């Protein structure tokens, strides 16, 4: 979808936003918070980063100085966390690492599992081969359907490709995985409608049958609805752009994670602006958490 076409769609309505470092206690960590995923749960936003292994727990009012705001420190070094979800039936947080090289020389995603209070449990490989280290699974969400537990993994590039081919709109893909004895087994592929003309795909979340997908490069949200008895969609869904500036330029340049808060409200987080690669205006909204309302009845 072109920027001109997007401008004709209803724009998401900002409710509140803050830089992540403003919300955390002083001295929590490095001043770079390259947010890559968010999970809204029980009145908190759990935010992960691709430049550090720690998890920020933020009270959902986004109040500076709130005593519940804390950085939950983890072991080891950053491994490129991409998204976080909560497995309701197993009572575990799941965090996906976009792409790691296996012993056989093939790049695959990896899912780490944590307790409710973010104590590490274990990790398992995901049965899905990738082209390389930088174009993998960007989004992760737990879904319970027809008595089965699944996780859905959102490919970053169109048709799960990298490079020029991955930037050709109309090929959004979501992979279906089920937890096996030694890995997350691949169970199928969901194709987003071709009318979703995003240049890339950054994160997803599911609320009942409603699917939310965000794009960083297109700076937009798509909402679709699954059919009751299949992974197909009932229609083409609706695209909502993030607010632009007075010139119509993108200002939410680094949108990454998304999570439902309510039927008409989402929370998203933003990665760090890339100096020298992106316009200076992009820095205003980077490394932040944002709450938006979805326009409509």
How far does CA 261 lie from the centroid of its chain? Answer: 14
Taking the model in full, what pTM does it have?
0.94
Residue pLDDT, tens place only, 107-129: 999 999 999 999 999 999 999 99
**Between 80 and 21, residue with greater pLDDT:** 21
What is the SS3 assignment for 186? Answer: strand
Q: Provide the token pair at 279.
A: 């316009």
Mean pLDDT for 255-265 is 97
Percent of the chain with pLDDT over 90: 80
Residue positions counted in the chain: 297
Picking from 74-88, 184-198, 223-237, 238-252, which range would have the lowest pLDDT averaged per residue? 74-88
pLDDT confidence of residue 169: 94
Residue pLDDT, tens place only, 139-181: 999 999 989 999 999 999 999 988 888 889 999 999 999 999 9
Range of the domain at 18: 3-293
Q: Provide the token pair at 177.
A: 């995985």
Residue pLDDT, tens place only, 83-97: 999 999 999 999 999
**Are the CB atoms for 36 and 271 separated by under 8 Å?**
yes
Give the side-chain half-sphere CA count within 13 A for 162.
Answer: 11
Q: Provide the token pair at 265.
A: 């409200």
Question: Which single residue is written with the structure tokens 């004709």?
Answer: 8
The total domain count for the chain is 1
| CATH number of the domain residue 279 falls in | 2.120.10
How far does CA 103 lie from the centroid of its chain? Answer: 28
Alpha-carbon gap, residue 16 to 31, rounded angstroms: 21
The phi, psi pair for 13, rounded to 5°, reads -105, 115
């Amino acid at each position: 979808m072109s920027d001109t076409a997007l401008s004709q769609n209803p724009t998401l309505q900002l409710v509140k936003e803050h830089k992540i470092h403003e919300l955390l206690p002083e001295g929590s960590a490095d001043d770079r918070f390259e947010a890559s995923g968010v999970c809204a749960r029980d009145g908190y936003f759990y935010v992960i980063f691709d430049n550090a292994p720690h998890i920020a727990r933020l009270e959902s009012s986004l109040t500076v100085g709130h005593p519940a705001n804390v950085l939950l420190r983890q072991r080891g070094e950053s491994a490129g966390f991409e998204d976080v979800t909560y497995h309701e039936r197993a009572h575990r947080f799941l965090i996906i690492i976009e792409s790691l090289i296996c012993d056989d020389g093939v790049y695959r995603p990896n899912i780490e599992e944590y307790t409710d209070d973010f104590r590490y449990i274990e990790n398992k490989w995901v049965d899905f081969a990738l082209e390389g280290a930088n174009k993998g699974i960007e989004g992760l969400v737990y879904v319970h359907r027809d008595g089965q537990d699944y996780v859905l993994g959102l490919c970053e590039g169109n048709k799960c490709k990298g490079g020029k081919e991955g930037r050709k709109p109309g090929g959004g893909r979501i992979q279906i995985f089920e937890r096996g004895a030694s890995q997350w087994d691949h169970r199928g592929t969901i194709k987003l409608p071709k009318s979703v003309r995003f240049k890339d795909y950054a994160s997803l979340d599911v609320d009942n049958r409603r699917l939310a997908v965000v794009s960083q490069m297109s700076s937009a949200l798509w909402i679709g609805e699954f059919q009751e008895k299949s992974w197909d969609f009932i229609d083409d869904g609706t695209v909502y752009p993030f607010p632009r500036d007075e010139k119509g330029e993108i200002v939410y340049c680094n949108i990454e994670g998304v999570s439902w808060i309510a039927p008409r409200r989402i929370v998203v987080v933003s990665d760090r602006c890339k100096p020298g690669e992106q316009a200076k205006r992009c820095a205003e909204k980077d490394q932040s958490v944002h709450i938006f309302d979805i326009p409509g009845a």
